[in-house]
Structure 1
Amino acid sequence: MATHYLEFEKPIADLEAKIEELGLLSATSGSFETEIEGLRKKAEQLRKKTYADLDPWMKTQVARHPQRPHFVDYVAGLFTDFVELRGDRQFGDDQAIIGGLARFKDRPVVVMGHEKGHDTATRLTHNFGMARPEGYRKAVRLMDLAERFGLPVLSFVDTAGAYPGLGAEERGQAEAIARSTERCLTLGVPSIAIVTGEGGSGGAIAIAAAGRVLMLEHSIYSVISPEGAAGILWRDGARARDAAMAMRITAPDLLDLKIIDRIVPEPVGGAHADRETTLANVGDALSEELQAMDGLSPAELRARRAERFYAIGRLG
């Protein structure tokens, strides 16, 4: 797969193009290893500097990167014996949210998450990760199953928001999101949510109201997209950058506001630059968080979750 460079990564792209060009010349016109090695070091230093200084709008672009690991990648890399469960038992199956039973480090769990797709065909199949009511009702069904059998729930959040189409509204989109959020909050089993890309509005919180909420380092989590906020505040979606800078949507901001509990580091260059390291970091964080909840009773889990969310916005 060809590397997709973001706008602010163009200087890095130029250096890597020169490295590739010299590599081709080396095959026909002698060795350029010294020059290539120097350019590689320069590109790596530039990548480190660039990613150390990302502003919120740059992080928004990284969070939306098309080559960022998606839910199916986390399932394939972190879980075994995954058995997908489909349908909401009312209307149909929504592939914007995928979920089922699996083993995580040999421990049975219920896992679910938004799936955006990786090419045109799969993006259409998964509706770009924007779930309809059936997706949230499927999530409730999965959480009911988890509670029935005493299984932890692991949720992977990556959506621009719930699908706003007419059919979704006619089938009760708001009610479905509210019921899913409510079920998250009332679970008597350990629950962990991790925002791996975009955490957009109610479409995200419907499966993210967990006992512990994590975010990948360059992901975002917000009540509305920067473009949406710019459209409301200034009636100009082109001012999305201004909105992103003001909204405090990045992981460090949200940790400071106590909206999330932990930041999971990404490799230099973002999750898309080194998927294996990203998956390993996420797996380690989930394992540590699960172990910390071992031995807690259903009542303790509910009480801790309630206290966690009641504390958001508290002054003093």
Structure 2
Amino acid sequence: MSILDLEAKIAEIQARLDEISIENHAEVEELQQQLRLYKTRAYENLTAWDHVTLARHPKRPKARDYIDYIFDSFIELHGDRLYRDDEAIIGGIAKLGNQVVTVIAHQKGNTTAENIKCNFGMPHPEGYRKALRLMKQAEKFNRPVITFIDTPGAYPGPEAEERGQGHAIAECLRDMSSLKVPTLSIVIGEGGSGGALALGVSDQIWMLQYAIYSILSPEGFASILYKDGSRAKEAAEVMKLTANHYLEMGIIERIIKEPIGGAHQFPQYVFDQLKPQLEEYLTQTQKLSTKQLLAKRYRKYRSIGEYDQFNR
């Protein structure tokens, strides 16, 4: 049963609960028990494709939701100083407790109109150049950088290629790897391809429990490996794209637990977990010198390369 089928079944049980009179305690209690059991069992045995479906869920909290709840006094900064502002990437200055930080994030919309405005979370080169501008600004003023990753990938259209999509992403990878300030990336939904990695070369990477991180979409992977995009579900199992896989491989440092059913079921549950963990992380990184910070980051990515080489 797919996640969509599961949600339909849960909605059916919930509808029956809503129809029953509150006085009918026995039936209400039985249905509530059935609902809890059904959810718990289903979400204990999710497939990789279920994780993909949850990561793409249209009601899943977006980056702006995290920023508005977790940070204070967010001031958004616009433009790459070369071409235009790209609304698929938002960024600016904010406060987390007493610490001033730079926040950069992929942004998706909640409605069709919003998604069109932010290009469904697929940035153009100017989005990555804006991100890089904000990273360098953060380095200049000694502000930690926190990024939220949620994109199917960088926009692949011809105009993006004409304006240097690959070069813009490569500059982010190069410069983010050597930033002289603490960095942290959190995958909150989809982490797709180089478009995600451009904001992900951080001291630590965290993932939400049902988020995904991959070299490309399962559909694209299936088209290449099997010459058949319809085999995406099968490809997802091969790709090792879930948070548990990445924790096991040592690529991420932490999994942020989600409520049963996904972050969209109870967003505040995730926000309330994440905020104190971010504050604790920033406190810990303040104890490191720049030399220690860069050495630790180098060792992290060196160890990932060694793991990959050893397990081929």
Specify which of 185, 196, 218 is matched with residue 188 of structure 2.
196
Specify which of 257, 266, 271 is matched with residue 274 of structure 1.
266
Q: Give 3-state SS (helix, strand or coil) of 2:260's partner.
A: coil
The letter of the residue matching 1:272 is H
**Alpha-carbon shift at residue 313 of structure 1 (Å):** 3.4
Show the counterpart of 1:7: 5
Show the counterpart of 2:14: 16
1:253 aligned onto 2:253:
no
Show the counterpart of 1:99: 91
The letter of the residue matching 2:170 is A
**Alpha-carbon shift at residue 270 of structure 1 (Å):** 1.1
CA distance in 1, matches of 2:71, 2:26: 43
CA distance in 1, matches of 2:237, 2:8: 22
**Alpha-carbon shift at residue 34 of structure 1 (Å):** 2.9
Q: Give 3-state SS (helix, strand or coil) of 1:279's partner.
A: helix
Show the counterpart of 1:50: 42
CA contact (8 A) 1:214 1:260 kept: yes
The letter of the residue matching 2:17 is I
CA contact (8 A) 1:264 1:285 kept: no
**Alpha-carbon shift at residue 248 of structure 1 (Å):** 0.5
Show the counterpart of 2:154: 162
CA distance in 2, matches of 1:8, 1:121: 28
CA distance in 2, matches of 1:7, 1:114: 29
Q: How does 1:203-214 map to 2 (within 5 A)?
A: 203-214=195-206
TM-score normalized by the length of structure 1: 0.94
**Identity rate, percent:** 44
Show the counterpart of 2:118: 126
CA distance in 1, matches of 2:133, 2:140: 11
CA distance in 1, matches of 2:153, 2:275: 25
The letter of the residue matching 1:15 is I
Specify which of 165, 172, 195 is matched with residue 180 of structure 1.
172
Specify which of 262, 278, 289 is matched with residue 286 of structure 1.
278
CA distance in 2, matches of 1:159, 1:258: 22
Q: Deviations over 1:223-258 (max 9, x none)?
A: 011110011111211110000011100001111111
Q: How does 1:11-160 map to 2 (within 5 A)?
A: 11-22=9-20, 26=21, 31-160=23-152
**Alpha-carbon shift at residue 309 of structure 1 (Å):** 0.6
**Alpha-carbon shift at residue 44 of structure 1 (Å):** 1.5
The letter of the residue matching 1:181 is L
Worse overlay, 297-306 or 201-210: 297-306
Once superposed, what is the RMSD of the aligned Cα atoms?
1.3
CA distance in 2, matches of 1:289, 1:55: 31
CA distance in 1, matches of 2:242, 2:282: 24
Q: Deviations over 1:75-96 (max 9, x none)?
A: 1110110000000000000000
TM-score normalized by the length of structure 2: 0.95
**Alpha-carbon shift at residue 97 of structure 1 (Å):** 0.4
The letter of the residue matching 1:273 is Q
**Alpha-carbon shift at residue 284 of structure 1 (Å):** 2.5
**Alpha-carbon shift at residue 20 of structure 1 (Å):** 2.0
**Alpha-carbon shift at residue 46 of structure 1 (Å):** 1.0
CA contact (8 A) 1:200 1:224 kept: yes
**Alpha-carbon shift at residue 54 of structure 1 (Å):** 0.8
**Alpha-carbon shift at residue 14 of structure 1 (Å):** 1.8
Worse overlay, 133-142 or 274-283: 274-283
**Alpha-carbon shift at residue 6 of structure 1 (Å):** 2.1
The letter of the residue matching 1:9 is E
**Alpha-carbon shift at residue 213 of structure 1 (Å):** 0.5
CA distance in 1, matches of 2:37, 2:6: 15
Show the counterpart of 1:308: 300
The letter of the residue matching 1:253 is H
In structure 2, the gaps of 5 or more residues are none
Q: Give 3-state SS (helix, strand or coil) of 1:158's partner.
A: strand
